[in-house]
Structure 1
Amino acid sequence: GFAEYQLAEGLIEFTHTEVDESFEGRGVGSALARAALDSVRAGEEPLGPRRVVATCPFIKGWIDKHPDYADLLDGRGD
């Protein structure tokens, strides 16, 4: 699976997340979301430190289910 994103000054916009059908329902998408957002939070290059724009419905939904990550949101696309 993968999570597509675009970087801008101080921002990371997650635009699309995809997991192969054979791995759906096994937590792969959730692991991708958590790892990506943890990298942003930790300030790890190239993802962080940035504010998150969650235009990807999966990433947005994941953050909605895990509100302890909502502090990363920039407010656009959510």
Structure 2
Amino acid sequence: MFSVRQDEKAIEYTQDGQMLGEITWYLQGDTMVMDHTYVSTTLRGQGIAKQLLDEAANYARANHYKMQPLCSYVVTAFKRYDDYEDVKK
């Protein structure tokens, strides 16, 4: 299950109450600076990181934010996929 963390600075992926993945950011004005992506080794290779980024992009769109990649996963994903053109800073 994907959800926005209570402090609104991360999207978390949980299974059976255990957090197994997250993508985090900090805000600079209207920009989400994407600073960390984590996926448990038990789930790697299953597209969870991309789903976390998709959820974060939807959050950015809903809140009229832009996204600036800082962590290596988001940098690579922004280059690889066209899905985020509207939220890229």
The bucket for the TM-score relative to the shorter chain is 0.7 to 0.9
Residue number in structure 2 paired with 1:3 = 23
Instruction: Tell me the alpha carbon deviations over residues 47-78 of structure 1, each in whole angstroms, 9 at most, x when there is no partner.
Output: xx11211011101211222123123121xxxx
Task: Give matches, 1:27-66, under 5 Å.
Answer: 27-43=47-63, 49-66=64-81
Larger of the two Rg values belongs to structure:
2
Over aligned residues, Cα RMSD in angstroms? Answer: 1.2
TM-score between the two structures when normalised by the length of structure 2: 0.70
The Cα shift of 1:2 comes to 0.4
SS in 2 for 1:18: strand
Q: What runs of 5+ residues in structure 1 fail to find an aligned partner? A: 44-48
Structure with the greater relative contact order (CA < 8 A, sep ≥ 6): 1 or 2? 1
The Cα shift of 1:42 comes to 2.5
SS in 1 for 2:52: helix
Do the aligned residues in 2 keep the contact of 1:14 with 1:59 (CA within 8 Å)? yes
Instruction: Tell me the alpha carbon deviations over residues 5-64 of structure 1, each in whole angstroms, 9 at most, x when there is no partner.
Output: 001211110001010000000111111011111221222xxxxx1121101110121122
Deviates more, 1:21-30 or 1:55-64: 55-64
TM-score between the two structures when normalised by the length of structure 1: 0.79
Letter in 2 for 1:72: V
Give aligned pairs, total: 69
Residue number in structure 2 paired with 1:46 = none
Structure whose residues are more often strand by fraction: 2
In 2: Cα distance, 1:36 partner to 1:52 partner = 9
Q: What runs of 5+ residues in structure 2 fail to find an aligned partner? A: 1-20
In 2: Cα distance, 1:68 partner to 1:62 partner = 9
